[in-house]
Amino acid sequence: MAKTVLVVDDDPTQRRLIQAVLEREGFVVSHAENGDQAVMHLAAGGVADVILLDMVMPGISGQETLVEMRARGFNQPVIVVTATGGVDTIVQAMQAGAIDFFVKPAAPERIMVSIRNALSMGALRGEVDRLKKHASGRTGFSDLIGSSPAMTMVKRLGERAAKSSIPILITGESGVGKEVIARAVHGSSERAGKPFVAVNCGAIPENLVESILFGHEKGSFTGATDKHLGKFLEANGGTLFLDEVGELPLDIQVKLLRALQESEIDAVGGKRPIKVDVRIVSATNRDLSLAVKEGRFREDLFYRLNVFPIEAPALRERKEDVPALVDAFVKRFNVEEGKAVVGATPETMAYLSAFDWPGNVRQLENAVYRAIVLADAPYLQPHDFPSISGVAPPAQAAEPASAIVAAMLPAAGASSVGLMPDMPQAIPVRILDERGHLRTLEEIERDLIQLAIEIYAGHMSEVARRLGIGRSTLYRKVREQGLEDVIKGGTDDASDEDTDAAQVA
């Protein structure tokens, strides 16, 4: 998903120049002529991943605009732009919340470095906020990604259920994010900030289920060398999430039913029941009503858990949410892996949105993770998802793609300038040196002129035309670069005012 940059500047020429630079790099650009328009744009829900803010504008200044943005809770990274570069101005902007600055006019490279750093900083801040919410049990439904009708219904139902202590049963295929929904229920309830304890009932050995859920006393069975509280007591005051609840053994289902009905548990080896205050949210990827008919799940427990059912949709039923999910995963894995991937190309996103995703959100998450690790371009390409797009990764070249430029031969008219028919169709001109640093412009220019002379067999009129310079300029550069020997075998037109050798001399 392309990132959006909001350019706030009263100079239309400056806005157009910055827009040209950003759009060339794949960004979407929005404009605001002054600070008031910028604040109104954000207040109306306008998208802005990064804000470029001019400091001197009619009306409210850039400094005042930045203060107003922060006061209203708009936390997008802001890069201030100034024509003077005064130290006091920059310091004040940084104190108000800007993360970078540059002085007009700025080179395109400087602008792009600043914006990419701002995006990385924004992603890092977002990931820190997400982890804080996750750790403190305050993840809410606003943190759930997706605005499709199916997800909108899930959010609406979940928010209503969160306001009470009603038992919730979340159903859906494996990988749809049932635990994420359960955490949102907890974070949106009065129990937010209290313990959220998740238990995968299908991953517990059958002989340990009772002890893990309800706890045990020291010496209650062989190996019980210490007292264990159990998951119910760990979640006391908060929420207990029973994932894959349909995998519980029948005898444990009886004890679970009593715990739900009486709000008390019996620890293994305990002498008396223990009162607990726990909200139960359960989940399953199986049809529990069918399990009831087959005698694998207690009917009374099923009705006790299934008071408020929420069905989590499969990803193939909400494909319009795929771009937002990809964007969120890219931000997270950029932080975790130290990468700076901006997003996915439109072609890549088309492949991802069209795929059925049998493993649902979990499969998409892992696919993006792999792509981020392997990506070496600012945007994810179709070949970064070979099993989904069917596009194989390109063959490894001897040089990095950024190290050479392919000088393509003309598609027609080659014979008219004496080109050999078996000459290769692309010849590299080296841009980087052996250590990976840019070579000087003079060195690159010399190689390009020599290459052009060789391709067009010393036909200097054609060389000059292809390079977009005059013949006299070309001859001057040949002398300056010491390329006289290269053109001695050339054959220019007889009608030219002098021979090539004479021009060079």
Q: What is the CATH number of domain 316-389?
A: 1.10.8.60
Task: Give pLDDT, residue 50.
Answer: 92
Task: Give pLDDT, residue 406.
Answer: 47
Q: How confident is the model at residue 322 (pLDDT cuts 50, 70, 90)?
A: very high
Which range among 117-126, 144-153, 402-411 shows the weakest confidence by mean pLDDT?
402-411
Structure confidence by residue, pLDDT tens digits, 47-57? 898 999 988 88
Q: Are 97 and 62 in contact (CB under 8 A)?
A: no
Q: Is the pLDDT of residue 355 over 70?
A: yes
Task: Give pLDDT, residue 417.
Answer: 41
Q: Is the pLDDT of residue 84 over 80?
A: no
- 441-455 vs 460-467: helix crossing angle, rounded to 10: 130
Task: Give pLDDT, residue 419.
Answer: 43
Higher pLDDT, 502 or 360: 360
309 φ/ψ angles, rounded to the nearest 5 degrees: -80, 140
**Helix H or strand E segment including 407:** strand 404-408
Task: Give pLDDT, residue 426.
Answer: 44
Q: Are 481 and 444 in contact (CB under 8 A)?
A: no
Q: Are 244 and 289 in contact (CB under 8 A)?
A: no
Side by side, the strands of the sheet bearing 4-8 are 28-32, 4-8, 50-54, 78-82, 100-103
3-state helix/strand/coil string of 121-158:
HHHHHHHHHHHHHHHHCCCCHHHCCCCCHHHHHHHHHH
Structure confidence by residue, pLDDT tens digits, 407-436? 444 443 443 344 444 444 445 567 766 655
Q: Are 250 and 298 in contact (CB under 8 A)?
A: yes
Q: How far apart are CA 148 and CA 206, in angstroms?
A: 39
Return residue ranges of the chain for CATH 3.40.50.300.
Answer: 143-313
The predicted model gives 99-124 an average pLDDT of 83
The predicted model gives 139-155 an average pLDDT of 94
Task: Give pLDDT, residue 228.
Answer: 86
Q: Is the pLDDT of residue 287 over 90?
A: yes
104 φ/ψ angles, rounded to the nearest 5 degrees: -75, 145
What tokens appear for 268 in the block? 């293994």
Q: How far apart are CA 46 and CA 82, in angstroms?
A: 24
Q: Is the pLDDT of residue 291 over 80?
A: yes
Residues 6+ apart with CB under 8 A from 247: 201, 202
Task: Give pLDDT, residue 433.
Answer: 64
CA 146 to chain CA centroid, nearest Å: 15
Asked if residue 105 has a cis previous peptide bond (ω within 30° of 0), the answer is yes
Task: Give pLDDT, residue 395.
Answer: 63
Return residue ranges of the chain for CATH 1.10.8.60.
Answer: 316-389
The predicted model gives 40-69 an average pLDDT of 89
What tokens appear for 62 in the block? 């850039």
Higher pLDDT, 430 or 211: 211
Rounded to whole angstroms, what are the CA distances from 467 to 28, 471, 501?
Answer: 33, 10, 20
Over the range 301-331, which residues count as b (16 or more CB within 10 Å of their CB) and which as e? bbebbbebebebbbbeebeebbbebbbbbbb
**143-313 maps to CATH 3.40.190.10:** no
Which range among 142-146, 154-158, 390-394 shows the weakest confidence by mean pLDDT?
390-394
Task: Give pLDDT, residue 1.
Answer: 62
Q: How confident is the model at residue 339 (pLDDT cuts 50, 70, 90)?
A: confident
Task: Give pLDDT, residue 473.
Answer: 87
Residue 8 is given by DSSP the state E
The predicted model gives 162-172 an average pLDDT of 94
Task: Give pLDDT, residue 460.
Answer: 86
Task: Give pLDDT, residue 413.
Answer: 40
Return residue ranges of the chain for CATH 3.40.50.2300.
Answer: 4-133
Q: What is the dihedral of CA 304, 310, 316, 319, to 10 degrees?
A: -170
High-pLDDT (> 90) share of the chain, %: 45
Position 88, amino acid: D
The predicted model gives 457-478 an average pLDDT of 85
Q: Are 237 and 195 in contact (CB under 8 A)?
A: yes
Q: How confident is the model at residue 225 (pLDDT cuts 50, 70, 90)?
A: confident
11 φ/ψ angles, rounded to the nearest 5 degrees: -95, 110
pLDDT, averaged across the chain: 84
- The domain defined by 4-133 folds into Rossmann fold (3.40.50)
Q: How far apart are CA 174 and CA 197, in angstroms?
A: 19
468 φ/ψ angles, rounded to the nearest 5 degrees: 75, 30
Structure confidence by residue, pLDDT tens digits, 176-185? 999 999 999 9
What tokens appear for 113 in the block? 């470095």
Q: Are 244 and 202 in contact (CB under 8 A)?
A: yes
Structure confidence by residue, pLDDT tens digits, 22-36? 888 888 999 999 999
Q: What is the dihedral of CA 435, 437, 438, 439, to 10 degrees?
A: -40
The predicted model gives 197-220 an average pLDDT of 90
Q: How far apart are CA 1 and CA 345, in angstroms?
A: 7
Higher pLDDT, 54 or 405: 54
Q: How confident is the model at residue 489 (pLDDT cuts 50, 70, 90)?
A: low
